[in-house]
């Protein structure tokens, strides 16, 4: 392969090096393809590693540790911790550096050509790359679009990066504001809202829907709502943010509450009202790629677009916009291009890293009923879990949803401490078609939080042990 002034030929051109793209590049290389991975950023890893999942989880860990240190007097710990935010930022940036350079090293070990530049499709077989000294023109057999998503704007509200900020800026604050308004009580708003409340800001969340985290079942959101209020957060729901005026470093947010308008003041305002797929500026108009009605690239089960040589994966290819869905999309597309039988037919777990965490896998009760199942449910509360008690936590529960006729597990909904870590077992169980009985008969280590999953399945079968199931 010759790189430089003349056209480079590759089997697979991957545009975008977030989780979806970087995995697709590695999987394609594992299948013996000649691969080029192009990203406009100097760091590989996309939003997830640089501006999303990883830095936010680092801050969540720090905020929880800080908060717990000052609030664990129940077992004799008294402390008056101090948070040095500039050291925290250095620590977070070191994690990003370690992971992004790790990805780049891996790509190179697999023989992937990594180019830092902007790729623009001139046709369904040619791309031009700008901003890089290493490649100018590429001829490809297949292209995988993994261009990700960007924050949605509120018309008329300008993000200045100082007073009015996006989630990327919110991950790099080294001086917490006294008052912090968050517009949007979804994933980002509630995760980062709790972080900043724990770090000492007075956080107000403005949410248009009638409750926070409206995409999650109400019963899972209740314990989060309760804890947010206990922490002192102000949750303003049924309230649509209309405009923001900034004067002398103070923002005034005007909110439409349905009955009129209200205003809220703060030193910082975070806009977190959703994300949209990145499809502009890649030359898609020079190909037969079509977008669906929501603006995502239209793809089939192999993640092939309406242009046969072009595939699309991750956020740009549809909901849910989650890194792990992107990973799996990347594997499917790379394997399909390699001629294997691969299809995007998988269960995608979702986690909201609030305190307590929310995790969902498969169908909830309403969805299972709508799908025509005669639904059987079981539930186990962490208040009855020995492990939760030893962690000084008793909030939350696990609910399982099953088909009454076959006992097959259809879904698991959880809220509680570290429930993110229980999604692996729940997802595997659903993927493998497990029955409630399979989980009930599986020995779960004691004491662990995972016992609550077994007990919820046993509850559905009327045979839970640490919960009274009347026998009649």
Residues that bind ligand NAI (CB under 6 A): 154, 183-189, 191, 206-209, 214, 240-241, 272-275, 320-322, 351-353
Based on the residue annotation, tell me whether 446 is a catalytic residue of this protein: yes
**CB distance 84 to 129 below 8 Å:** no
From the CB of 180, what's the least distance to ligand NAI, in Å?
Answer: 15
From the CB of 186, what's the least distance to ligand NAI, in Å?
Answer: 2
Q: Which is nearer to ligand NAI, 193 or 378 (CB)?
A: 193
Cα–Cα distance measured from residue 104 to residue 94, given in angstroms and rounded to the nearest whole number: 15
Q: Which is nearer to ligand NAI, 156 or 372 (CB)?
A: 156
Residue nearest to ligand NAI (CB): 186
> Residue 37 contacts by C-beta under 8 Å, 6 or more apart in sequence?
14, 17, 21, 22, 25, 44, 107, 112, 113, 114, 115
Query: What does the block give as tokens for 302?
Result: 């192999």
Q: Which is nearer to ligand NAI, 112 or 352 (CB)?
A: 352
**Other beta carbons within 10 Å of 131:** 11
From the CB of 444, what's the least distance to ligand NAI, in Å?
Answer: 25
Q: Which is nearer to ligand NAI, 129 or 351 (CB)?
A: 351
Cα–Cα distance measured from residue 41 to residue 358, given in angstroms and rounded to the nearest whole number: 32
173, 45, 193: which is closest to 106 by C-alpha?
45
Q: Which is nearer to ligand NAI, 216 or 287 (CB)?
A: 216
From the CB of 247, what's the least distance to ligand NAI, in Å?
Answer: 21
From the CB of 175, what's the least distance to ligand NAI, in Å?
Answer: 23
From the CB of 190, what's the least distance to ligand NAI, in Å?
Answer: 8
Instruction: Name the catalytic one among 67, 169, 341, 446.
Output: 446
From the CB of 150, what's the least distance to ligand NAI, in Å?
Answer: 10
From the CB of 181, what's the least distance to ligand NAI, in Å?
Answer: 10
Q: Which is nearer to ligand NAI, 235 or 457 (CB)?
A: 235
Q: Which is nearer to ligand NAI, 186 or 223 (CB)?
A: 186
User: What's phi and psi for 310, nearest 5 deg?
Assistant: -120, 130
Largest Cα–Cα distance of the chain, in whole Å? 81
464, 459, 466, 440: which is closest to 387 by C-alpha?
466
Q: Which is nearer to ligand NAI, 27 or 275 (CB)?
A: 275
Q: Which is nearer to ligand NAI, 26 or 351 (CB)?
A: 351
From the CB of 149, what's the least distance to ligand NAI, in Å?
Answer: 7
| Residues that are catalytic | 446
């Amino acid at each position: 392969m010759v790189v430089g002034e003349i056209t480079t030929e590759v089997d697979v051109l991957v545009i975008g090096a977030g989780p979806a793209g970087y995995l697709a590049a590695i999987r394609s290389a594992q299948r013996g393809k000649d691969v080029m991975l192009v990203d406009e950023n100097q760091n590989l890893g996309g939003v997830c590693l640089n501006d999303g999942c990883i830095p936010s989880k680092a801050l969540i860990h720090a905020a929880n540790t800080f908060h717990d240190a000052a609030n664990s007097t129940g077992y004799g710990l008294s402390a008056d911790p101090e948070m040095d935010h500039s050291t925290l930022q250095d620590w977070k940036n070191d994690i990003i550096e370690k992971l992004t350079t790790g990805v780049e090293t891996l790509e190179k070990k697999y023989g992937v050509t990594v180019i830092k530049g902007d790729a623009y499709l001139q046709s369904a077989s040619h791309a031009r790359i700008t901003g890089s000294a290493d490649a100018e023109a590429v001829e490809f057999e297949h292209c995988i679009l993994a261009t990700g998503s960007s924050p949605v704007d509120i018309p008329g509200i300008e993000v200045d990066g100082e007073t009015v900020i996006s989630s990327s800026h919110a991950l790099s604050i080294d001086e917490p504001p006294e008052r912090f308004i968050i517009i949007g009580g979804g994933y980002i708003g509630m995760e980062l809202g709790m972080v900043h409340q724990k770090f000492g800001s007075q956080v107000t969340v403005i949410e248009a829907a009638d409750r926070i985290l409206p995409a999650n079942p109400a019963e899972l959101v209740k314990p989060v709502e309760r804890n947010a209020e206990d922490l002192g957060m102000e949750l303003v729901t049924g309230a649509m943010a209309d405009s923001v005026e900034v004067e002398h470093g103070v923002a005034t947010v005007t909110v439409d509450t349905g009955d009129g308008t209200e205003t809220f003041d703060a030193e910082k305002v975070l806009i977190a009202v959703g994300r949209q797929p990145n499809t502009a500026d890649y030359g898609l108009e020079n190909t037969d790629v079509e977008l669906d009605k929501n603006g995502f690239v239209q793809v089939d089960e192999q993640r092939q677009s309406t242009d046969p040589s072009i595939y699309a994966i991750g956020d740009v290819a549809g909901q849910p916009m989650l890194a792990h869905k992107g990973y799996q999309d990347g594997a499917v597309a790379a394997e399909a291009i390699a001629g294997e039988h691969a299809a995007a037919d998988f269960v995608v777990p979702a986690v909201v890293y609030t305190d307590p965490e929310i995790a969902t896998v498969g169908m909830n009760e309403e969805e299972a009923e709508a799908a025509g199942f005669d639904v059987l449910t079981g539930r186990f509360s962490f208040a009855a879990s020995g492990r939760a008690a030893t962690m000084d936590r008793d909030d939350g529960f696990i609910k399982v949803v099953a088909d009454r006729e076959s006992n097959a597990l259809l879904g698991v909904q959880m809220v509680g401490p570290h429930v993110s870590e229980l999604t692996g077992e729940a997802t595997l169980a659903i993927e493998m078609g497990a029955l409630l009985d399979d989980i009930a008969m599986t020995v779960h280590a004691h004491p662990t939080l995972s016992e609550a999953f077994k007990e919820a399945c046993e509850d559905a079968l009327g045979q839970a042990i640490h919960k009274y199931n009347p026998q009649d």
